[in-house]
Structures are given as structure tokens and as C-alpha cells.
Amino acid sequence: MSCSICKRWLVVGLLLLTLPLFAKEKSKVKPVAFYQGMQLGVEFGGVLNHLVSNNWSTAGTIDLNIRNKLLPTIELGRAHLEQTGETGVLYTTTGNFLKVGFNKPIIYNASTHDMFYVGLHYGFSSFNYDLRNLSFSGGYWGQPTITSILGEHAYAGWFDAVAGVRVKVLGPISLGWSIHYRNVLHISNGDNSVPQYIPGYGQNVNPYAGINANLYYKLPF
């Protein structure tokens, strides 16, 4: 038997000996199921703001955990603002908002559901607002005229880039904090004015950054 034939049989023998090792190693890797649960969340940072002012916001979220790798998210909320400008103009608005998108866990603990994540969302709000104590100078004597613009309607859409953490505190309950970087994509102003504040977004400036605090509950199914 030639040396080349011996080498071939030696390689084949080594492969046959290592096959059980590959099979054993493969069996240790358990496939992750597609559905890994859902979590309900409530944003409470904006509610606490109502303790020191007439301004508030609140939102409820639900996210679906897909293989611990992707969390599609839907958020519904409502916000109210009363703000007096430097010239004495009082701006008030109340409106609903919707956000849809996904979060991507970067660091994830499957046993506690603790995570650090990043995400991208699209937000939309349709809202009414009022402007009071508007002052205009005119007339022969130049006397200021005080007037109001009421019932203005506007809508806006924006993207929301987010980075956040969730930490388990007790059983199915977790706390979360997130930092948001937002930018208006499109806006329809009122008939006679430009909105100063967009519910769910914040002050009508580009870009706009914010911080949210959330309480989460993992559903038992």
C-alpha cells in the first residue's frame, strides 16, 4: 500500500473519530424559540412633571420579544403643555401621539430580561393648540392690540433614535431609562401660526433630545 493511500485512510479515520465530538457540541446549542414574550410599559417621567407644573405627558408601550434579538414596539400617548413665552404669549396644547419601531438588545440577560438596547422609531402626532396674549402695535396712536389665536390644528412626524436600559426589580416588573434623539421629518403648521410644542416630540426644534423613565411588566404568556 502506497504512502498516499495510507495518508488518505488516516485522514478519513480522523474525521470519523471527530464526528461524535461535533455532534455533541452541536447538541449543546439549544435553538431559541421565535416568541420570547411581551412586555407592557408605562412612561411615568412626564406624569411626575405634573407635580410641579400644569404640564404632563404619559404613554403606554407594548413590545414583542423575537428570539431575544429584536423588539418591535408600539407606543400610544397623550401630552399637555402650558408655556408662557418671554413676550407674555401663553401657548397651550393637548394632543395624542403614536410611535412605532423596534429596539435591538446589544447586551441581554435571558434569565432576568435585563438589557442595554438601541432602537429607531417613527412618531406622529395630530394636535390642537391656542395662542393667547398676542400683542400687535397698530392704529394712528400706535396702541397695542391684545388678541388670541384659538383652535389651531397641526400634525407632525419625526424619527426617534433611542438608547436605553432595562433592569429587573421584582418578579415580572422592570424599570427602564432611555435617552432619545429626535428630528422632525415633516410638519403641517396651523393656519395662522407655527406650533411651539409637539406632543410626544417636545419643543419644536431640530434636533431635540429627551429622557424617559418607564415601568415594565412582563406578561405571563
Mean pLDDT of each 10-residue bin along the chain, 221 residues long: 53 51 51 91 86 88 95 97 84 96 94 93 96 69 70 96 96 95 95 92 94 95 89
CATH architecture of 33-218: Beta Barrel (2.40)
Q: What is the pLDDT of residue 195?
A: 93
Over the range 14-35, which residues count as b (16 or more CB within 10 Å of their CB) and which as e? eeeeeeeeeeeeeeeeeeeeee
| Residue 26, pLDDT score | 47
| Element spanning 66, H or E | strand 56-66
Q: What is the pLDDT of residue 189?
A: 93
User: What pTM value is reported for the model?
Assistant: 0.80
Q: Residue 49 carries which DSSP code? A: G
